[in-house]
Amino acid sequence: MTNTTWKEPTLAEVDPEIAALVAKEERYEQDTVRLIPSENYASRAVLEASGSVFTNKYSEGYARKRYYEGQAQVDLVEELAAKRVAELFGADHANVQPYSGSPANLAVYLAFAKPNETVMGLALPSGGHLTHGWNVSITGMFFKSVGYNVRRDNHLIDYDEVRQLAREHRPRILWCGATAYPRIIDFAAFRSIADEVGAILAADIAHISGLVVGGVHPSPVPYADVVTSTTHKTFRGPRGGMIMCKKEHAKIIDKSVFPGLQGGPHNHTTAAIAVAAHEAAQPSFKAYAQKIVDNAKVLAAELTERGFNLVTGGTDNHLILIDLTSKNIPGKVFAKALDRAGIVANYNTVPFDPRKPFDPSGLRLGTPAVTSRGMGAPEMKRIAAWMDEVVRKVDDEATITRIAREVAEACRAFPAPGIAVQ
Ligand SMILES: *Cc1c(COP(=O)(O)O)cnc(C)c1O
């Protein structure tokens, strides 16, 4: 065999087991209605960049300040990605090296707080993220964490309680942002509280960064000292993280990501973030973001009409949280029955949940992925009708199998981005 005739074997030839699972996952993502609010479909262009030879490179440091030679392309890729992200959000500075949302948040702690200093964030049962100081997270172990909550009466963030707790505990970092909160976040209110107590205001927009770019959720950039996000949720990029900040914090943020927390950046991811930022800068992305919210509102209204009890009574964003107490069914049982029916969502705690976190009362769903496929109001109505049928017949496998067939059939008209099998 000479070099000129040698053909490198494909994935299917090298590892048929993994190749088969990839093919099966493609089929699954095409044939199901994916309502996990943190999931999406990355475009083919994003997947291509993410699967590119930039995975081969090591480039510790930052563009033009590397510890390795051979960075001609990598430097340009990272400069493009950071520039596009900063422009998109109107931020002074962007760091696109964080490996994901959680490491992005850790870099903020490293930049602004010492171990055992006080930090504040939305408590997990109220919809906050683990990395906002919850006790099982390193952020709740290495820092003195104070959690604020949503109000008992309307399940909205209790800004009075945030102010009172901040005055009492004087946190170094005040986190805003959530992972299961269906309403607009008032960043200006958080700014005024942070100013009053001299805290760094950190906004974590992991879920909503695509909505912010699309102009359908207010931006935290004018208010927050630092803004973190994942890149793979509503932003529709590769799995990754990013941090935007004011000019005066640029140095400390960069130092905290590298060398403070990470080694070499994932350059293939950086390339894909640049592509996602380019896609998000197109006018069509604004329409996409608007459609996500429109779809969520239709789905919420249809579910309400069918007797589902929505936390806060509806949604302003991409996300819906159902309290299933009135349906007399635990979140996990419903989520599993829906999954068998080809409708994928996740069980979730609801505020002040009387049940345990591993077996809670709620179901969390969202519209970013179905919207990426081009689904609209008629499909949201059908999804609500299917969910209503499943909730009443969780044990009726014949009905569930019939719905799974109907779901797969309906999905055929909406080819999933980035997926070859149709
Ligand atoms: C998803 C999420 C994260 C964490 O992102 P990972 O990429 O899973 O580490 C952080 N904060 C919030 C608010 C999130 O929703």
CATH of the domain at 303: 3.90.1150.10
Which residue(s) pair with 120 in the sheet?
Answer: 146, 174
Q: Are residues 400 and 359 in the same domain?
A: yes
List the domain range (segments joined by +) for residue 114.
49-280
Q: Are residues 227 and 129 in the same domain?
A: yes
Q: Is 249 in the pocket of ligand 1 (CB under 6 A)?
A: no
Q: Which of 99, 131, 232, 321 to mutate for ligand 1's pocket (most ligand atoms within 8 Å of CB)?
A: 131
Task: Convert the pLDDT of each residue in 76-85 to its tens digit.
Answer: 999 999 999 9
Q: Are residues 99 and 222 in the same domain?
A: yes
Q: Are residues 320 and 363 in the same domain?
A: yes
Distance between CA 252 and CA 257 in Å, rounded?
9
- Does residue 4 form part of some domain? no
Give the pLDDT score at 420: 81
Q: Are residues 216 and 304 in the same domain?
A: no
Q: Are residues 300 and 158 in the same domain?
A: no
Give the pLDDT score at 421: 74
Contact by Cβ (8 Å): 245, 225? yes
From the CA of 208, how far away is ligand 1's center (Å)? 11
- Does residue 25 form part of some domain? no
Q: Are residues 61 and 161 in the same domain?
A: yes
Q: Are residues 400 and 325 in the same domain?
A: yes
In the chain, the number of structural domains is 2
Active-site residues: which are they? 58, 60, 204, 230, 233, 239
Distance between CA 215 and CA 192 in Å, rounded?
23
Q: Are residues 252 and 322 in the same domain?
A: no
Q: For residue 323, which of 311, 306, 314, 332 has the smallest C-alpha distance?
A: 311
Q: What percent of the chain has pLDDT over 90?
A: 97
Q: Are residues 250 and 102 in the same domain?
A: yes
Say yes or no to pLDDT of 26 above 80: yes
Is pTM beyond 0.95? Reply is yes
Q: Are residues 228 and 303 in the same domain?
A: no
Say yes or no to pLDDT of 316 above 60: yes
Give the pLDDT score at 131: 98
* Residue at which a domain ends, from 218, 251, 280: 280
Q: Is 179 in the pocket of ligand 1 (CB under 6 A)?
A: yes
- Does residue 416 form part of some domain? no
> Among the atoms of ligand 1, which is closest to the Cα of residue 239?
7
From the CA of 52, how far away is ligand 1's center (Å)? 25
- Does residue 247 form part of some domain? yes
Say yes or no to pLDDT of 253 above 90: yes
Give the pLDDT score at 143: 98
Contact by Cβ (8 Å): 236, 207? no
From the CA of 102, how far away is ligand 1's center (Å)? 6
Dihedral of alpha carbons 115, 178, 267, 15, sign = positive
Residues 6+ positions from 286 with CB-CB distance below 8 Å:
214, 215
- Does residue 347 form part of some domain? yes
From the CA of 234, how far away is ligand 1's center (Å)? 12
Distance between CA 204 and CA 230 in Å, rounded?
9
Distance between CA 412 and CA 270 in Å, rounded?
32
CATH of the domain at 117: 3.40.640.10
Say yes or no to pLDDT of 241 above 90: yes
From the CA of 169, how far away is ligand 1's center (Å)? 25
- Does residue 82 form part of some domain? yes
Q: Are residues 132 and 265 in the same domain?
A: yes
Residue where the block lists tokens 């879920």: 207
Q: Which of 108, 124, 129, 234 to mutate for ligand 1's pocket (most ligand atoms within 8 Å of CB)?
A: 129
- Does residue 12 form part of some domain? no
Neighbouring C-beta atoms of residue 142, cutoff 10 Å = 17
* Residue at which a domain ends, from 265, 280, 295: 280
Task: Convert the pLDDT of each residue in 337-373 to its tens digit.
Answer: 999 999 999 999 999 999 998 899 999 999 999 999 9
- Does residue 133 form part of some domain? yes
Residue where the block lists tokens 């949280």: 321
Q: Is 318 in the pocket of ligand 1 (CB under 6 A)?
A: no
Q: For 153, phi and psi rounded to 5 degrees?
A: -80, -40
* Residue at which a domain ends, from 264, 280, 296: 280
Q: Which two tokens stand for residue 298?
A: 């239709």
